[in-house]
């Protein structure tokens, strides 16, 4: 019920139980709710983050549940402020895009040959991708974030990719590590490699991007919703750094058919990426999106890390991970 405030269902249950039983500890709360102590501690971490509980001032070692009249009102105020901030960002982003389109439309170019043109909507984007594929002569480089791809998108991509490969155009794609767990996407990867394409994966990726012949780049108008449209960018001053970014990511990515080994500390690349994302203050939801996995998978990975670190909370886990040089 309080999910709109960012409060998970388990956290809400623990919060209600603490309000009803102020003296209960972790074990008692687990018994009352019929859940594990790990579940309770994860809920307490979130309640701390939302300022709904704090250490009791006159009872060392005891947690105090802040009155809903105070705590939830503050949480609601934060959500309203966050919503207002996001709305302002959208307005600013729209204004910036419009200015960019006006300054660099299809009929204008600066002295470096840079030009920007917008293609809005799914159909316009697909038409542009088709055109880019027909005109490409040497190579197509692609960042494919977002995890497992929809079947319709795979069918469309497979047709275009096959035409490119038959013409001798080199095709290189970097997807998220999470696509290794999706059968449909794996079949598409196998199709590409069987026909001469090259595919690698990485724990995280920047925005979706397509580069053609190192002269044209397609990037999303809205990085959070690539369906809104893309910007076609030409000009070496912009495209060359994007190609360099791809080449760096390609060098660090893992080819398909190769198993990622844990590093010297016993961490896998996805675990390393998760720790870095959470250390930056990202929520489970945002971290899961960046990694292309479910929130449940993210929580399971974090639970495993906490167990290996012998940490009782995420705060302690972050501290111990930093001590071990994992961050």
Region of residue 275 (left: phi > 0; alpha: psi -120 to 50; beta: else): alpha
The β-bridge relationship of strands 254-255 and 139-144 is unpaired
Domain end call among 206, 232, 255: 255
Burial class (CB in 10 A: 0-12, 13-18, 19+), 159: exposed
Please indicate, yes or no, whether residues 77 and 115 belong to a single structural domain of this protein: no
Task: Report the candidate in 206, 196, 213 with the shortest Cα–Cα distance to residue 290.
Answer: 206
Q: Are residues 12 and 74 in the same domain?
A: yes
β-pairing, 139-144 vs 170-176, is parallel
> Does 261 score more than 50 pLDDT?
no
Residue 277 lies inside a defined structural domain of this protein: yes
Segment among 124-138, 147-161, 251-265, 311-325 with least mean pLDDT:
251-265
Q: What does the DSSP assignment read for 43-60?
A: HHHHHHHTTSEEE-SSST
123 with 250, same domain: the answer is: yes
**pTM recorded for the entire structure:** 0.49
The answer to whether 191 touches 283, Cβ cutoff 8 Å, is: no
Q: Quick check: is 8 in a domain?
A: yes
**Residues 30 and 96 placed together within one structural domain of the fold:** yes
Asked if residues 14 and 45 have their Cβ atoms less than 8 Å apart, the reply is no
pLDDT tens, 23-60? 778 888 888 888 888 888 888 887 777 777 777 766 66
Residue 81 sits in the same domain as residue 48: yes
Residue 2 lies in a domain: yes
Rounded Cα distance, 81 and 71, in Å: 15
263 in a structural domain = no
User: 262 lies in a domain?
Assistant: no
The CATH code of the domain that includes 212 is: 3.30.870.10
Domain of 276, CATH number, reads: 1.10.10.10
Q: Give dist(CA 41, CA 39) in Å, integer.
A: 6
Structural domain span for residue 151: 111-255
The structural domain count of the chain equals 3
Is residue 124 situated within a structural domain? yes
Question: For the segment 178-200, what is each residue's pLDDT rounded down to a tens digit?
Answer: 888 888 888 888 888 888 888 88
Same domain, 224 and 290: no
Instruction: Say yes or no: 220 and 122 in one domain.
Output: yes
Looking at the DSSP bridge assignments, the partners of residue 258 are none
Q: Which two tokens stand for residue 193?
A: 């490699």
Domain shared by 172 and 151, yes or no: yes
Q: Are residues 275 and 308 in the same domain?
A: yes
Q: Are residues 161 and 217 located together in one domain of the fold? A: yes
Is 89 inside any structural domain? yes
Give the Cα separation of 274 and 296 in Å (integer): 13
- DSSP lists the bridge partners of residue 218 as 210, 232
What's the confidence (pLDDT) of residue 6? 63
Q: What is the 3-state secondary structure (H, E, C) of 164-217?
A: HHHCCCEEEEEEEHHHHHCHHHHHHHHHHHHCCCEEEEECCCCCCEEEECCCEE
């Amino acid at each position: 019920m309080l999910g709109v405030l960012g409060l998970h269902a388990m956290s809400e249950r623990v919060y209600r139980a603490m309000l009803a039983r102020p003296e209960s500890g972790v074990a008692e709360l687990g018994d009352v709710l019929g859940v594990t102590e790990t579940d309770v501690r994860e809920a307490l971490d979130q309640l701390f983050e939302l300022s709904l509980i704090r250490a009791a001032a006159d009872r060392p070692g005891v947690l105090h549940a802040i009155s809903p009249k105070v705590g939830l009102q503050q949480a609601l105020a934060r959500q309203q402020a966050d919503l207002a901030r996001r709305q302002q960002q959208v307005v600013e982003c729209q204004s910036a895009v419009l200015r960019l389109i006006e300054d660099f439309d299809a009929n204008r170019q600066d002295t470096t040959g840079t030009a920007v043109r917008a293609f809005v909507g799914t159909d316009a984007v697909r038409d542009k991708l088709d055109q880019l594929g027909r005109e490409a002569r040497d190579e197509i480089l692609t960042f494919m974030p977002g995890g497992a791809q929809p079947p319709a998108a795979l069918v469309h991509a497979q047709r275009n990719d096959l035409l490119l490969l038959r013409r001798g155009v080199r095709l290189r794609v970097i997807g998220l590590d999470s696509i290794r767990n999706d059968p449909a996407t794996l079949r598409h990867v196998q199709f590409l490699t069987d026909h001469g394409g090259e595919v690698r994966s990485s724990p995280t990726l920047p925005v979706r991007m397509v580069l053609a012949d190192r002269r044209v780049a397609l990037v999303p108008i809205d990085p959070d919703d690539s369906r809104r449209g893309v910007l076609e960018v030409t000009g070496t001053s912009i495209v060359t750094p994007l190609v360099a970014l791809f080449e760096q990511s390609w060098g660090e990515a893992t080819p398909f058919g190769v198993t990622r080994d844990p590093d010297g500390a016993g961490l896998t690349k996805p675990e390393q990426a998760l720790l870095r994302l959470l250390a930056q203050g990202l929520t489970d939801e945002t971290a899961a999106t960046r990694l292309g996995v479910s929130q449940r998978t993210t929580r399971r990975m974090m639970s495993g890390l906490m167990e290996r670190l012998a940490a009782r909370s995420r705060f302690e886990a972050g501290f111990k991970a930093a001590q071990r040089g994992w961050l």
